[in-house]
Chain A
Amino acid sequence: MTLPEAAGLGLAFIARLITGAQGHWHGSTPKAEQRIYFANHQSHFDWVLIWAALPHDLRAATRPIAARDYWTKTPFKHWLTREVFNAVYVARQRGSDGAAADEDPLEPLMEALRHGDSLVIFPEGTRGNAADPAPFKSGLYALAQAFPEVPLVPAWIDNVQRVMPKGEVVPVPILCTVVFGPPIALAPAEERRAFLDRARSAVIALRDVA
Chain B
Amino acid sequence: MADLRALSVSQQVGLLFVVLFGLLGIVTIVAFGKSLRDLTAEQTALRERFARELRALWTAAVVFWIAWVSGPIGSTLLFGFVSFLTLRELVSLTHTRRADHRSLLLAFFVVLPLQYVLVGMRLINAFTVFIPVYVFFAIPVISALANDPFRFLERTAKIQWGVTVTVYGLSHAPALLLLDLPRYRERGAFLVFFLVFVVVAAQVGEEIASRRLRRRPVARAISRSFSWPAFGVGVGVAALVGLLLDWITPFAPLASIAMGAIAGAAGMLGQFVMQALKRDAGVRSATGALSVTGAVGLLDRLAPLCFAAPVFFHAVRGYFGI
A residues contacting B by CB (< 8 A) are 20, 22, 158-159, 162, 165, 168, 170, 172-177, 210
For window 145-200 of chain B, which residues contact chain A by CB distance below 8 Å? none
Task: Evaluate contact between B91 and A172: CB separation under 8 angstroms.
Answer: yes
Q: Which B-chain residue is minimally distant from A157 (CB atoms)?
A: B293
The 8 Å CB contact of A173, one of B88, B98, B296, is B88
**Residues on the B chain within 8 Å of A173, using CB:** 84, 87-88, 91, 108
Chain B residues with a Cβ closer than 8 Å to the other chain, count: 16
**Residues on the B chain within 8 Å of A170, using CB:** 105, 109
- Once bound together, how far apart are the Cα atoms of A191 and B88, in whole Å? 44
For window 268-305 of chain B, which residues contact chain A by CB distance below 8 Å? 293-294, 296
Task: Evaluate contact between B96 and A175: CB separation under 8 angstroms.
Answer: no
Task: Report if B89 contacts A (CB, 8 A).
Answer: yes
Within the complex, what minimum Cβ distance (angstroms) separates A82 from chain B? 31
**Residues on the A chain within 8 Å of B108, using CB:** 172-173
Within the complex, what minimum Cβ distance (angstroms) separates A14 from chain B? 13
- Once bound together, how far apart are the Cα atoms of A158 and B290, in whole Å? 14
Task: Evaluate contact between A210 and B293: CB separation under 8 angstroms.
Answer: yes
Task: Evaluate contact between B293 and A172: CB separation under 8 angstroms.
Answer: no
Interface centre among B101, B108, B109 (most CB of A within 10 A): B101
Task: Evaluate contact between A168 and B101: CB separation under 8 angstroms.
Answer: yes
Known: A159-B92, A162-B96. A172 touches B101 (CB 8 A): yes
Task: Report if B104 contacts A (CB, 8 A).
Answer: yes
Q: Which A-chain residue is minimally distant from B292 (CB atoms)?
A: A210
Known: A159-B92, A168-B101. A175 touches B84 (CB 8 A): no
Within the complex, what minimum Cβ distance (angstroms) separates B262 from chain A? 33
Q: Which B-chain residue is minimally distant from A166 (CB atoms)?
A: B98
What are 6 residue pairs bridging A and B, where the CB atoms are less than 8 Å apart in the complex? A20-B296, A165-B98, A170-B105, A173-B84, A173-B88, A175-B293
Task: Evaluate contact between A159 and B294: CB separation under 8 angstroms.
Answer: yes
- Once bound together, how far apart are the Cα atoms of A170 and B96, in whole Å? 16
**Residues on the A chain within 8 Å of B98, using CB:** 165
**Residues on the B chain within 8 Å of A165, using CB:** 98, 101
**Residues on the A chain within 8 Å of B105, using CB:** 170, 172
Besides A170-B105, A170-B109, A174-B92, 15 other A-B contacts (C-beta < 8 A)? A20-B296, A158-B293, A159-B92, A165-B98, A172-B104, A172-B108, A173-B87, A173-B88, A174-B88, A175-B88, A175-B89, A175-B92, A175-B293, A175-B296, A210-B293
**Residues on the A chain within 8 Å of B294, using CB:** 159, 174-175
- Once bound together, how far apart are the Cα atoms of A27 and B140, in whole Å? 45
**Residues on the B chain within 8 Å of A177, using CB:** 293
**Residues on the B chain within 8 Å of A172, using CB:** 91, 101, 104-105, 108
Q: Which B-chain residue is minimally distant from A170 (CB atoms)?
A: B105
Within the complex, what minimum Cβ distance (angstroms) separates A108 from chain B? 33
Within the complex, what minimum Cβ distance (angstroms) separates B99 from chain A? 9
Task: Evaluate contact between B293 and A159: CB separation under 8 angstroms.
Answer: yes
- Once bound together, how far apart are the Cα atoms of A174 and B295, in whole Å? 11
